[in-house]
Amino acid sequence: MEKRSMQSELRKLPSVDSVLNQPVIRKQIERNGADFVTFVVRSVVENVRHSVLNGGICPEAAEIIAKCDEAADFIRKPILKEVLNATGVIIHTNLGRAPLGKKVLEDIKGVISGYSNLEYDLKTGERGHRNDHIVPLLKYITKAEDAVIVNNNAAGIMLALGTFAKGKEVIISRGELIEIGGSFRIPEILAASGAIMVEVGTTNKTRLSDYEKAITQNTAMIFKAHRSNFDMVGFTEEVSVHELAEFSHKKGLPFLYDIGSGLIRKPKNLNLESEPDVESAILDGADLVAFSGDKLLGGSQAGVVAGRKEFISKLKTAPMMRALRVDKLTLATLSSVIRSYFNDKTMIENITLFSIIEQTPEQLKKKAEELVRKFNSFNVSAKVVRTEGKCGGGTLPGVKIESYGAVIVSNKGNQKERSDFAEKIFRSLHELERPVVGILKQGEIIFDVLTLEKKEFEYIAENVSQIVGEQR
């Protein structure tokens, strides 16, 4: 843009004072205060100015005023909202991973709303340690000698590698150089920790002899990573946890197992046999087992490293530990969840993801039929369809969950009109105060009941009815 035309565009830019005097902005001032609204207006005007200086066209004053109004509303609203999950994905990373049960919320209410004995020993009246409240529980449930809690599993891996293998070699199977969501890659984590990665075996086959050949004077650790988000089938071979543990101990090396998905132990009668669990890994001899708190464990975001006391004690005193520690909310949540692991009954009753997985196809079909009836009661045409639920969150990739849902039936003439109709419902449900996230698939919108509660049906049906009514 020429200098003259740029100056012309800049002259169109309204002043902050003129925007503040507009009726719609004055209402914002009455609701939210002059300081806050002035900050918003200045930010919007400055963004427009920056755009013009970089060759952009200045919007009309009315558009700028509207942007200020929208920005003030947006900033003042809560960032996080309760979302109804109709996707059939239980541990949905984009929707906050593992849902917390009512029992957990009851347990932590007093702790998070007031003061707590987070670092206070009530017996001695002296300063205590925040991990003292949960470590005994973890030791009992996992059969580990000790444990440490950090802010996520990646942090636990980084802490372990940085403590025991900085500047030294870590041996890992080539078939376990995994990537978890958000570009979390094992090779990059190893590099960031200061460890030197040594790959052994091939993508599909790794034998104990491959580890043996890779041992040098600079070897500091044996590392195994669970392929939690994909299956490897066919012509494959890997070394078991028990074999690697024996081998590591023979060589005098610590053995770190990144189990990732965080199944502590397997409840009976649930389809989890193929998934490794922390208790078994500890009993098989792993020195350190790292896992997530918000996946199959069923709690809040955290990372746990459990294992032998001689190694855990070094992690607890590592310089990075203070930077990675968790707060009272995380500890209270995890403590409540882990107490539910004392028996299978409380696991399924109190940990929401297990109660979801426990639902039978027959129960889910009846739920879908009930949702369809609810839609019909609001004059929305719907029918029951079979779906396939998933555990999600980088867990149980081979487990398919037979489920059912309700699909909205459109009376639109052609496929494009029906697709547009479904997309309109899908997008409009995102704009609700309690957004609903369904499945938009092949021009249809589906509500999978696997991840829905019956008490949510009326809210969904009523809002879909309003959206459909606007389309007629």
Of the candidates 106, 108, 128, the residue with the CA atom closest to the CA atom of residue 118 = 128
Per-residue model confidence (pLDDT) at position 15: 93
pTM of the model: 0.86
Under DSSP, the state recorded for 231 is: -
Please tell me the predicted confidence (pLDDT) of residue 317.
94
Protein fold of 84-91+355-471: Aspartate Aminotransferase, domain 1 (3.90.1150)
Residue 87's identity, in one-letter code, is T
Domain map of the chain by residue range? 3-76, 84-91+355-471, 102-350
**Pairing mode, if any, of strands 179-180 and 126-127?**
unpaired
pLDDT value at residue 408: 93
What is residue 73's predicted lDDT score, i.e. its pLDDT?
86
Match domain 102-350 to its CATH number in 3.90.1150.10, 3.30.420.40, 3.40.640.10, 3.30.1180.20: 3.40.640.10
Beta bridge pairs of residue 198: 171
Beta bridge partners of 310: none
In whole angstroms, give the CA distance from residue 280 to residue 277: 6
Contact in structure between 246 and 267 (CB atoms under 8 Å): no
> What tens-digit pLDDT sequence spans the chain (472 residues)?
555 588 888 888 999 999 999 999 999 999 999 999 999 999 999 999 999 898 889 999 999 999 999 998 888 777 788 999 999 999 998 999 999 888 888 989 888 888 999 889 898 999 988 888 899 999 999 999 999 999 999 999 999 999 999 999 999 999 999 887 666 788 998 999 999 999 999 999 999 999 999 999 999 999 999 987 777 778 889 999 999 999 999 999 999 999 988 899 887 777 777 789 999 999 999 999 999 999 999 999 999 999 999 999 999 999 999 899 999 999 999 999 999 998 888 888 899 999 999 999 999 999 999 999 999 999 999 999 999 999 888 787 777 899 999 999 887 778 888 888 899 999 999 999 899 999 999 889 999 999 999 999 999 999 999 998 876 5
pLDDT in the model for residue 181:
66
Q: What local confidence, expressed as pLDDT, does residue 182 receive? A: 63
Percent composition of the chain: helix, strand, coil (DSSP 3-state, to 5): 50, 15, 35
